[in-house]
């Protein structure tokens, strides 16, 4: 079965089997349901089909990104959004395939926003503050660029043409380093920080649970099997989980402990009692006809919720305790 047909079949059966009411029928609150867009479902391996890790959440009037790996920002534009629309950025860990487009998000937001929008709120594990300083500080990687844009006459003219009022301020993301157990309260949502089992102690690795009025989503970041993820995701409508490789092919126990495989993920989803498991972060070796069908089938043997094979630009719309709609891939 071709990729698109396969995904469509899954999506259709998921939406139909869930028996979701159309959002229009659920009153004013559901008029603007929480929407998740998978911006990047790939790995560090180069791919034109799957970009680096990135997820977009539209909750109420807020636009939140979780992770922003290489190519995720391009997908953000393809999804119809702009850097200046994004208000919050969360990072699970600082592997480059999860944060390489951080610079692009901040700089394009700063440039196009022209002091008319607030600075980006950023949440992530240490050393995200240091990374931010090293990128955007006066002595940072982009320090000379930022100085030129603030001080050169041509750039000031451009800045004023966009509605800015000189002197131009530097980009200054509001960075908060977070740890498991922390809760970030938004206008109409809250994010709870959990712990992923990945490449500690070299990188602190987090997971996030987003609770919105119409549902809850846990993004496990990169993680192998973890009781912490089970606890964080408990009862969630959607669990987005790394499905890096085919069970049984891990080259070592350490690899298995750090990266998700499909049988382990099935158990995690089952133990957490989630309704839908969205698989992501696929190596090319499993992103193949027949293999993906086998993986989904085997997961469904032990996990009785819905299983979604994630694709870049796939949109999942929450409406009440179910996914009402999957589209856009």
Burial 107-125 (b: 16+ CB within 10 A, else e): bbbbbebbbeeebbbbbbb
Minimum gap (Å) between residue 95 Cβ and Zn ion: 4
Place of tokens 């939406």: 15
CA distance 194 to 179: 7
Comparing C-alpha atoms, which of 44, 36, 92, 25 is closest to residue 64?
A: 36
Between 260 and 320, whose beta carbon lies closer to Zn ion?
A: 260
Binding mask 154-183 for Zn ion (x = CB under 5 A): ------------------------------
**209 scored as a contact of Zn ion (CB under 5 A):** no
Between 259 and 326, whose beta carbon lies closer to Zn ion?
A: 259
CA distance 14 to 322: 10
Tell me the window of 39-47, 156-164, 215-223, 290-298 that interacts with Zn ion (CB under 5 A): 215-223
Handedness of CA 155, 161, 162, 167 (dihedral sign): positive
Between 10 and 232, whose beta carbon lies closer to Zn ion?
A: 232
Q: Is cis: bond before 182, omega within 30 of 0?
A: no
Minimum gap (Å) between residue 268 Cβ and Zn ion: 17
- At residue 67, the 3 state secondary structure works out as strand
- At residue 219, the 3 state secondary structure works out as strand
Tell me the window of 38-46, 92-100, 135-143, 157-165 that interacts with Zn ion (CB under 5 A): 92-100
Minimum gap (Å) between residue 191 Cβ and Zn ion: 19
Binding mask 223-262 for Zn ion (x = CB under 5 A): ----------------------------------------
CA distance 95 to 203: 8
Minimum gap (Å) between residue 301 Cβ and Zn ion: 28
Between 11 and 286, whose beta carbon lies closer to Zn ion?
A: 286
Between 204 and 211, whose beta carbon lies closer to Zn ion?
A: 204
Minimum gap (Å) between residue 221 Cβ and Zn ion: 7
Query: How many angstroms separate the Cα of 224 from the Cα of each of 201, 205, 241, 259?
Result: 15, 11, 9, 4
Q: Long-range contacts for 31-35 (Cβ within 8 Å, ≥24 apart)?
A: 32/58, 32/60, 33/214, 33/317, 33/318, 33/319, 33/324, 34/58, 34/59, 34/189, 34/212, 34/213, 34/214, 34/215, 34/217, 34/317, 34/318, 35/315, 35/316, 35/317, 35/318
Q: Give how many residues touch Zn ion by CB under 5 A.
A: 2
Between 67 and 119, whose beta carbon lies closer to Zn ion?
A: 67
Query: How many angstroms separate the Cα of 155 from the Cα of each of 25, 108, 159, 171?
Result: 50, 14, 6, 15
Among 35, 75, 88, 95, binds Zn ion (CB under 5 A): 95
Minimum gap (Å) between residue 104 Cβ and Zn ion: 19
CA distance 291 to 205: 29
Minimum gap (Å) between residue 196 Cβ and Zn ion: 9
Among 58, 222, 237, 264, binds Zn ion (CB under 5 A): 222
Tell me the window of 9-17, 179-187, 221-229, 300-308 that interacts with Zn ion (CB under 5 A): 221-229
Binding site for Zn ion (CB under 5 A): 95, 222
């Amino acid at each position: 079965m071709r990729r698109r047909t396969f995904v469509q079949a899954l999506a259709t059966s998921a939406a139909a089997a869930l028996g979701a009411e159309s959002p229009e029928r659920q009153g004013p609150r559901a008029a603007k349901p929480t929407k998740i867009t998978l911006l990047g479902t790939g790995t560090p391996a180069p791919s034109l089909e799957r970009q680096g890790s990135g997820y977009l959440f539209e909750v109420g009037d807020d636009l939140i990104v979780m992770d922003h790996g290489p190519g995720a920002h391009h997908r953000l534009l393809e999804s119809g959004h702009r850097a200046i629309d994004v208000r919050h950025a969360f990072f699970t860990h600082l592997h480059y395939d999860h944060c390489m487009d951080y610079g692009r998000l901040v700089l394009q937001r700063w440039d196009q926003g022209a002091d008319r929008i607030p600075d980006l709120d950023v949440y992530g594990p240490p050393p995200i503050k240091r990374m931010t300083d090293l990128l955007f500080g006066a002595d940072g990687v982009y320090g000379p660029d930022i100085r030129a844009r603030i001080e050169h006459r041509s750039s000031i003219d451009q800045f004023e043409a966009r509605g800015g009022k000189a002197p131009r301020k530097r980009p200054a993301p509001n960075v908060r380093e977070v740890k498991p157990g922390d809760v970030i309260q938004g206008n109409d949502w809250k994010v709870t920080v959990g712990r992923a089992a990945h490449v500690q102690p070299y990188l602190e690795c987090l997971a996030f649970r987003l609770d919105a009025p119409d549902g809850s989503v846990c993004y496990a970041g990169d993680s192998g099997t973890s009781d912490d993820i089970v606890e964080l995701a408990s009862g969630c409508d959607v669990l987005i989980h790394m499905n890096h490789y085919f069970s049984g092919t891990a080259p070592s126990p350490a690899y298995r402990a750090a990266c998700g495989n499909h049988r382990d993920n099935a158990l995690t989803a089952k133990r957490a009692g989630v309704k839908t498991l969205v698989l992501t972060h696929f190596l090319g070796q499993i992103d193949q006809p027949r293999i993906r069908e086998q993986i989904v089938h085997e997961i469904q043997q032990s996990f009785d919720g819905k299983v979604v094979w994630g694709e870049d630009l796939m949109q999942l719309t929450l409406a009440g305790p179910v996914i009402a709609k999957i589209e856009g891939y």
